[in-house]
Amino acid sequence: DADVTQTPRNRITKTGKRIMLECSQTKGHDRMYWYRQDPGLGLRLIYYSFDVKDINKGEISDGYSVSRQAQAKFSLSLESAIPNQTALYFCATGLAGGHEQFFGPGTRLTVL
Amino acid sequence: RKEVEQDPGPFNVPEGATVAFNCTYSNSASQSFFWYRQDCRKEPKLLMSVYSSGNEDGRFTAQLNRASQYISLLIRDSKLSDSATYLCVVNIKSNFGNEKLTFGTGTRLTIIP
């Protein structure tokens, strides 16, 4: 079984809809992250959490919110989706101290 | 200026050849360095960490030059399975003690039979 899972894997939605992307992990890591990846722009950090209830903005947090209610789960919400939020979204987990991050398989989101 | 810069490629290299990727980073407070590999439509995965003394893992060699703020990855005897995008990644610790990984946009490598 995968250590970091994301649901859904693919989603097509319309402008203005509220969308939630879920991430779960069985690695026991305290730190969790949400990134988006766009062609030519690489991976950009949206939000990250170092512990339950700890929330920190990344470089592109506008238009997104997150929730960390349990160590194993970190959800990303788009309150009112817009077309430029069309991207590949990755959840990741990691340990303190600049160690490796472990990524989920990604969610491909299309906003029409 | 981007915090981490890489040549996007693509690099099209014949099987068995040696290929080298370079990466520069702008923040001198960067503390740790990595190369990640990302296959098409898949998640990034750690390939290797990069140490000041240089390190080798089989056909892969990584080098770090802190003075020049430069990281390299060398792949010898390239295989078809090496075809992927290689991401240069830098860990930066902020003044507040937070750490974050900053990813380069990646260098795309295709090994040609």
Contact between chains at A103 and B45 (C-beta distance less than 8 A): yes
Closest CA of chain A from B96, distance in Å: 12
What is the pLDDT confidence band of residue B5, given thresholds at 50, 70 and 90?
very high
Residue type for A8, please? P
Q: What is the pLDDT of residues B9-62, one digit of tens each?
A: 899 999 999 999 999 999 888 888 999 999 998 999 999 999 888 899 999 999
> Which chain A positions have a beta carbon within 8 Å of B105's beta carbon?
40-42
Residue B32 to residue B36: CA distance in whole angstroms: 13
Question: Which pLDDT belongs to residue B97?
Answer: 60
- Cα separation, B46 vs B29, whole angstroms: 22
Confidence of residue B3 (pLDDT cuts 50, 70, 90): confident
Q: Do A45 and B106 touch (CB under 8 A)?
A: no
Taking CA–CA distances from B34, the nearest residue in chain A reads A100
Q: Is there a contact between A40 and B93 if contact means CB atoms under 8 Å apart?
A: no
At A81, the amino acid letter reads: A
Q: Which two tokens stand for residue B76?
A: 């010898």
Given a cut of 70, is residue A20 above it in pLDDT? yes
- CA quadruple B22, A40, B92, B47: dihedral sign: negative
A97, B104: Cβ pair inside 8 Å? no
AA letter at A56: N
| pLDDT tens-place string over residues A72-87 | 999 999 999 999 999 9
CA distance A71 to A83: 31
Pick the range with the lowest mean pLDDT from A23-37, A60-74, A75-89, B2-16. B2-16
Side-chain half-sphere exposure of B58, counting CA atoms within 13 A: 6
Whether A98 sits inside 8 A of B99 (CB atoms) is yes
Tell me the pLDDT band of A38, cut-offs 50, 70 and 90. very high
Do B7 and B88 meet the contact criterion of CB atoms below 8 Å apart? no
- Closest partner CB to A42 (pick from B41, B98, B106): B106
B chain contacts of residue A55, beta-carbon cutoff 8 Å: none
- CB-based contact B69:B2 (threshold 8 Å): no
- DSSP conformation letters of A18-75: -EEEEEEESS--SEEEEEEEETTTEEEEEEEESSTT--EE-TT-TTEEEEEEETTEEE
If you average pLDDT over residues B84-95, what whole number do you get?
86
Q: Helix or strand or coil: residue B91?
A: strand
d(CA A62, CA B109): 33
- What residue has token string 């919400």? A77
The bridge status of strand A10-13 relative to strand A107-111 is parallel
Interface test with B, best of A3, A99, A108 (most B CBs within 10 A): A99
The answer to whether residue B98 scores a pLDDT higher than 70 is no
pLDDT over 90 at A4, yes or no: yes
Strands B44-50 and B30-38: antiparallel
Which amino acid, one-letter code, is at A23? C
Q: How far is A72 from chain B (nearest CA, A)?
A: 19
Query: What is the phi/psi pair of residue A93, to 5°?
Result: -125, 160
Does the pLDDT value for residue A42 go beyond 90?
no
Spell out which residues of chain B touch residue A43, defining contact as CB-CB under 8 Å: 44, 87, 103
pLDDT of residue B93: 72
